[in-house]
Amino acid sequence: MGRKQLYIGCIFALLTLIGCGKKKVPLAETSPKKDQNIRHATGFTVHSDNDVTIIEVTAPWPGAQQSFTYALVPKEKLASMTFPRDAYDAIVGTPVEKMVVTSTTHIPSLEALDELDVITGFPNTDFISSPKARELVDNGQIKELGMNESINTEIALAMKPEVVMGFGINDTNKAYETIKQAGIAVVYNGDWVEQTPLGKAEWIKFFAPFFQKEQQADSIFKEIETSYLQAKQLAQKATEKPTVLTGGLYKDVWYVAGGQSWMAQFLNDANADYLWADTEETGSIGLSLEAVLEKAQQADFWLNPSSQTSYEELESVNVHHKQFKAFTQKKIYSNAIEKGAKGGLVFYELAPQRPDLVLKDLITILHPGLLPDHELRFIKPLQ
């Protein structure tokens, strides 16, 4: 791409060595002048202040008590600017040329922005499903970094990325601290914390400023948003509202989607009668098999029964599964059937960025005839 590498640890040296004889423009400690239009996502904001784009991540992980602020500056402008001390968690020169990403949900946004080539490393590359990204893994461009909680920092630092796009459940990742101490920016991404389908998808606007592609991201998201809202409107034409059970057993506990969760939002927009829609949980709810049988034995549909992908497998795991109406009538559908070349689940990688396709899958399953030409993409019938 012909972009000059810039390492965050050299910023102030550059200001000293390159900035001599030039008038430096201070970045004022004032409120940003322009807000980017974020309509659905709640975990980040984007502002522009002259040549600087300021991104604040307010929900890097569930229940976070801290936020992170990043300043993105065109590389050719960086040496002529000064920054308030300790005002930002990282200062990044754009467009970024080398980036480590740590969640498969990061990959579709980069692919949609035509920036897959910037990825230099990823923890546990077998999880990657994108065919284009897998080519980069196979030819050695995307290198294996181990596990996210214990990234191989020696390999990561040798790549000299400008940014590590972090995924974390808290702020205690020691590998990230090592990377930051080496002068490389660690930027927390909280796309997975969002609870609404369009909220998750809008995180493409979080990635865009790193590559100066805000307009492209806006256009991509607008198409997804329009497609989703049109499908939601179509679902309201259904004459019936089928009942739905979700989840399955894991070590004798049945986990169903909470009523305020991402999946529950999909089911509501698909005009389904989700049996746990009135609960307040944003994640999953752990129940006994008996409790699920009592409430959902007669459910019309059963979605995402853990990792089982066939009726035979589901019966072998627990014979009581045969007691559900959805089992006997063969109306069980799973998001675990469509896998990448190394077994990674396509749903967990791509679905957050393409909620319109997820919704269309659900409408096709729950309301046959409303979308006669739609081919199931993520959620498919048990085999």
Would 2 be classed as within a structural domain? no
Q: What is the pLDDT of residue 11?
A: 31
Q: What is the pLDDT of residue 8?
A: 32
Q: What is the pLDDT of residue 39?
A: 94
Q: What is the pLDDT of residue 169?
A: 85
Calpha distance 59→124 (Å, rounded): 24
Residues of the chain with pLDDT under 70: 1-35
| Same domain flag for 182 and 258 | no
Q: What is the pLDDT of residue 159?
A: 95
Would 157 be classed as within a structural domain? yes
| Same domain flag for 112 and 205 | yes
Model pLDDT for residues 245-289, shown as the tens digit of each residue:
999 999 899 999 999 999 999 999 999 999 999 999 999 999 999
| Same domain flag for 96 and 116 | yes
**Residue for token digits 């129940």?**
287
Q: What is the pLDDT of residue 88?
A: 94
Q: pTM for the whole thing?
A: 0.89
Would 3 be classed as within a structural domain? no
Between the alpha carbon of residue 135 and those of residues 1, 107, 116, 148, 347, the distances in Å are 18, 13, 11, 21, 19
| CA-atom Rg of the chain in angstroms | 23
Domain's final residue, options 196, 224, 252: 224
Taking phi first (over 0 means left), then psi (-120 to 50 degrees means alpha), and beta for anything else, what does residue 304 get?
A: left
Q: What is the pLDDT of residue 49?
A: 82
Would 272 be classed as within a structural domain? yes
| Same domain flag for 259 and 371 | yes
Would 229 be classed as within a structural domain? no
Q: What is the pLDDT of residue 147?
A: 86
| Same domain flag for 181 and 280 | no
| Same domain flag for 144 and 253 | no
Would 230 be classed as within a structural domain? no
| Residue 238 contacts residue 271 (beta carbons within 8 Å) | yes
Q: What is the pLDDT of residue 26?
A: 44
Domain's final residue, options 224, 254, 275: 224
Q: What is the pLDDT of residue 83?
A: 81
What is the total count of domains within the chain?
A: 2
Residue 51 token pair:
């040549």
Q: Which domain holds residue 217?
A: 8-224
Residue 106 token pair:
């990061």
Calpha distance 245→219 (Å, rounded): 35
| Same domain flag for 310 and 279 | yes
Calpha distance 63→71 (Å, rounded): 24
Model pLDDT for residues 320-367, shown as the tens digit of each residue:
999 999 999 999 999 999 999 999 999 999 999 999 999 999 999 999
| Same domain flag for 240 and 290 | yes
CATH number (domain holding residue 136)? 3.40.50.1980
| Same domain flag for 43 and 181 | yes
Would 337 be classed as within a structural domain? yes
Would 203 be classed as within a structural domain? yes
Q: What is the pLDDT of residue 220?
A: 98
| Same domain flag for 306 and 243 | yes
- Within 10 angstroms of residue 372's Cβ, the number of other Cβ atoms is 7
Calpha distance 54→209 (Å, rounded): 9
| Same domain flag for 61 and 145 | yes
| Same domain flag for 206 and 257 | no
